[in-house]
Amino acid sequence: MAGEDTTVRRRGRRPGGQDTRTALIEAARAVFGESGFDGATVRVIATRAGVDAAMVNHWFGSKEGLFAQAVLKLPFDPHELLAELKDGPDDEFGRRIVRTFLTRWDGAGGEVFQALVRSVAGHEQAALVLRSFFQSFFTKVIAGLGSDRVELRTSLCASQLVGMGLVRYVAKFEPMASSDIEPLVTAIAPTVQRYLTGDID
């Protein structure tokens, strides 16, 4: 893990090209993911990055600025995500989507999703980014599949996927919190598939 320095930090510029800006962004993703925007403190983030809290203001202007760079400016875009999923039969699109979301959420970069969901209550812009992401992604998917009522279907897909994330990673319902990915894919995929192309009225 990072930040295990027992040496007393000296004042002034540090030797070596240690990229504290990047270290701060990574620490911020982790801490915002664990505590949300309101719960996270600048001091905790800086400590985890092995750096003084004033660095946040120096590099990002404010806590808000750091949140904007680390979380709101997503480290992946709907376009690229969609490209990964296009290949395969249409009637398994829901399956691929659920698997991809769970895999990303579990792995590297998942802290950003957690930070978004955990901050959506108190941070208006987090809600905005979450909406934009799902709209951008599912609008393309649903239109590509030739379904009607694109916006409603998008909301429905978002409700199931965001709910899945909240229950698994935040509220930690068992057995969903500790389950392997594949059983969840099998259970949830039909829901998403119906929201994408099936009967919704």
Partner DNA sequence: GGATGAATTCAAGGATTGTTGAATTTCGCG
Partner DNA sequence: CGCGAAATTCAACAATCCTTGAATTCATCC
Residues at the site binding DNA, with contacts judged by CB under 7 A: 8-18, 20, 40-43, 50-58, 61-64
- Judged by CB under 8 A, the residue of 44, 53, 82, 127 near its own copies is 127
**For residues 89 and 196, what is the distance between their CA atoms, to the nearest angstrom?**
13
Show Cβ contacts of residue 129 under 8 Å, excluding neighbours closer than 6 positions.
Answer: 71, 72, 74, 116
Binding site partner of 30, from DNA, its own copies, none, Cβ cut-off 5-8 A by kind: none
CA 113 to chain centre: 1
Binding site partner of 120, from DNA, its own copies, none, Cβ cut-off 5-8 A by kind: its own copies
Show Cβ contacts of residue 3 under 8 Å, excluding neighbours closer than 6 positions.
Answer: 27, 47, 48, 49, 50
**For residues 166 and 146, what is the distance between their CA atoms, to the nearest angstrom?**
30
Binding site partner of 6, from its own copies, DNA, none, Cβ cut-off 5-8 A by kind: none
- Judged by CB under 8 A, does residue 200 bind its own copies? yes
Binding track, positions 24-53, relative to its own copies; x by CB under 8 A: -----------xx-xx--------------
Cβ distance to DNA smaller for residue 53 or 176: 53
Cβ distance to DNA smaller for residue 9 or 73: 9
Query: How many other C-beta atoms can be found within 10 angstroms of the C-beta atom of residue 157?
Result: 24
